Chains A and B, each alone.
Chain A
Amino acid sequence: MAEIILNGNTYSFEKGESILDVANRNGVHIPTLCYLKEITPIGACRLCLVQVDGAKRLQAACVTYAMDGMKVETDNEYIWTHRKQMLDFILIKHPLDCPVCDKAGECMLQDTAYEFGMMSEKVSSEKPQDPKAYWNKIVYNSNLCVLCERCIKSCHEMTGCSALKMEDRGFYNHVTPAKGETLNCDFCGTCIDRCPVGALLDTQFHNQARVWDLDETTTASPFSASEGDVVYGVLDGKIERGKSVEGFQISSQSRFGFNYIENPSRIKTPLVKSGGDFSPKTWEEVISVLKDRLAGCKPENTAMLMGSRLTNEAIAAYKALMGAVGSKKIVTEADFTKPAFMKKYKEKFGTFANIRRADDLKKADLIFVVGADLRHEAVGLKWRMMNAVIHNDCKLITVGLKRYEYDVFTNKSFLADGGDFGGIFEKIKTDNAETFADVREYIKDAKKIAFIVGNEYTSSCPQPEAVLSFADFVGKDKMSAFLVANDKTNIYGLYAQELFANGYSADELIKDLEAKNIKNLFLVGFNNTYTGETAERLNNALRTAETVVAVDLFNDGTSAKANIFLPAKAALEVDGSFVKIGGRLARVRKVVDTPGEQKSDTEIASMLAKIFKAEIPPCPEEIYNTMLAGKSGYPEVKFNILDSCLVIKTEPSFNETVYKYEQPKSGEKTVFVNPRHHSGTITAKANFTFRDEFAVQKFHFQQAEETITADTCESAAKGIKLVTKKF
């Protein structure tokens, strides 16, 4: 067993660990500035100097491998003198910006300088005064930069974007975008979170508030299903900034898109349509209107369309509401997003939930990304995938409609022309060309193989079971994770509560609507942003219902067709839980109060249930404890101890998929994709112009419109047109 001696004490270690790793594991304190656990060590700051017996100079503990029998001192006066000198060098050129710097209060340089007991600099020097560089939503102040390279490395290793690089040498060394004049990356803000000083900051929060004045709340991201939890800082009832929980990353939507709750077009009071126009009413009036209109409603005439922005507790409450009505006609957004594929998925695995966790990607040896443009659909999966590639020596194979931005890391990238994913898989199974033979080698050598399947595949491949059959080829023992990337907030919650393929499908609903069978229709959080034939038919058919009650945040979109509109609280304003990719049960916490008289979904469900003489508790805690705990795989615990670390239990099976490859028909296929930084109406609403006496402010990103074909873009597959949706 290899051993190392730190300050006279002996510790064991494994090969490949650095001295710093051993010290951290055993509670020996070595100060650091540029070290970050999630990335490979940098060794730029030189604050972790230690004295190694036998070496003439002090060594940086983070980049020195521990050797058997090494004797290391970490805490004597000689070392501290040198560490202080190193810090002195950093501080010499650091401008006196603490009073005006956003980072003050959470600045590692401040903390380290104080911890070291630095009193005064020995050499005075002129401070640099270069201008700040504004890269869209990220601002870089090179005067404050300590050149620790954390941002570059974390962007390179954790996000797969590699958007930053170092430029020039010596005194002129600074960070700059790798491609072009300004940044064009995911704007996930990992570099902002990792920067130890105030060199990289986000422009939306710039100069808005002091960090110690903010009340911080950790909540699950209301935008995407694949990222970590978000910490929102609130000042005077207004969210000022979002940042990620330590050790995780969040997407640009969570970081910059939280202002949708303040969009001026947010509905604040219930609305009732009379004579073509919505008129505001109070809650009491609206309840009496509802009582009149819903009186005598029969179960077979009542249906509900449920959306994916709802928390688990809201879903349970609405389900109970329909139970009180006696109707089983619930159709959710799950019917519109990958329905055919998910049905085949269920046949194979026996469940709609993902197989294993998102974090299992990190341990994979070989990852297949099948038709998933992760940047637009599930940024969180991309990071874990990159983690595996960089740290685990994982092999990466993409099969898609275009080459993705992390193409440099892929071992093989295949283009499925015309959506012919099945053809690629056949080739991999049997073709003798070297590239496909390599893939078979990879599969043979790998022990953990993970699959990610996304929108491009399910929209364009005519045989959805192709990839499932390929999973059979790989083998049940080697398959370590199978994840279906989805950009909707709580789609997995809908799956988990058995609301998909439960006997009533969207087609049946449309038939009922067209036959004027449905008199009362509830649209709870449902916004039809889908494309495809079913979605269009639904839009047309909605008019036939007599009473359409919509519960949502904004009343454009599908809710415009409602007669009665009930304003709901957003996910940032309620308590509850979401189910994220991989089955993680994430806790949603209330961050701010609502700007009007909105009520939460559970309260609305409770109010509506009273009309039908049923009792549904309005409080999410009670709903979880009574209706969800222990059922459908939800953990059997009390709601108030949920903390985003528990998972929904599933017991997947592994059945053989029956499949025979057929050549797809020719002809151009149109596939609709999300625009950059947007995944739905909520993020679209976060981009609004706000005029006050000082400035015109716009929040979040604009929706980019682009169409990609093989003619315009050389990394796109043939026979395919990728069109961005408009939310």
Chain B
Amino acid sequence: MLLPIVFTIIKILIIVTVILLAVAYMTYAERKVIGAMQVRLGPTHTGPYGLLQPIADAVKLIAKEDLTPDMVDRPVFIIAPLLTMVPALAGFAVIPFADNFTMFGMEIKPYITDLNIGLLYVLAISSVGTYGVIMSGWASNSKYALLGSLRSSAQVLSYETAMGLSLVAPVLLAGSLSLREITLAQAGMWFVVPQIVAFVVYVIAAVAETNRAPFDLAEAETEIVAGFHVEYSSMKFALFFLGEYANMYLVSTIATVMFLGGWNGPLLPPLVWFVIKVLFIMFIFLWLRATLPRLRFDQLMSLGWKVLIPIALANLMITAIVVHIVR
């Protein structure tokens, strides 16, 4: 009775540690990769090839003075970053990283749990993250922060619809909401092939969900409002940042699981394939950031509502009709 609980706790610890490290080193990778695209070197000084840069950043952020401005709503102010970070981590509870395998005579399941409504759970949990954004904007008692947070939450809400609609199509193809089932269903052919439109819509919506360029108006430095986390410093600011990158990882893993076949792939072990596919999606995130200019907010909203949602709906309807005909 105790053993599964112990195993689960061990798995949770492993996954959380790996995610946090991965998030930290994603910042490093971003700087290096974007640097290469921009004809510059990125971090090189801290440690060999600058590999210790994230550690240095973490130490700096921890050592900074933790300011709480005067007129803020204190409980809300403190909870907001947590509300951004925790749902992103919690979403990883249902992601299957690899196929079940046996080790030491026991069957190891490389996922924390396999809910039969796994996808619904992920979508629900990541929506809670939006609260964190709104709360931080409100609690900061600054009209620029409020403006930024309202924009960001509007953006996230709009694109969530498109994201959800594009994700329903693979569900129709797989016939289950459980992420493990969906991965197993792609053993033959990855869903990206029949659902290429949904994949593209999903990637665009994912970029908008995570407030990344070209949809980063809400937190862009060169705009008038410096974003909803303008009043935060030290650890709270670090939590926002980590939350954002964790969110990026989450949507990348969802994309991998839903469209790119999860751990399926020849020759290499399943975990390695999983990691390669997640990193590929992350690379697309970085690539977009380096290349494209930023969209203005109204252009962003009109793209989401007037373009992506109709396409996702149309794709869904066509998929439904085809599936019904085939089945």
User: Are A and B close enough to touch in the complex, i.e. CB under 8 Å?
Assistant: no
Q: Which residues of B are at the interface with A, using a C-beta cutoff of 8 A?
A: none
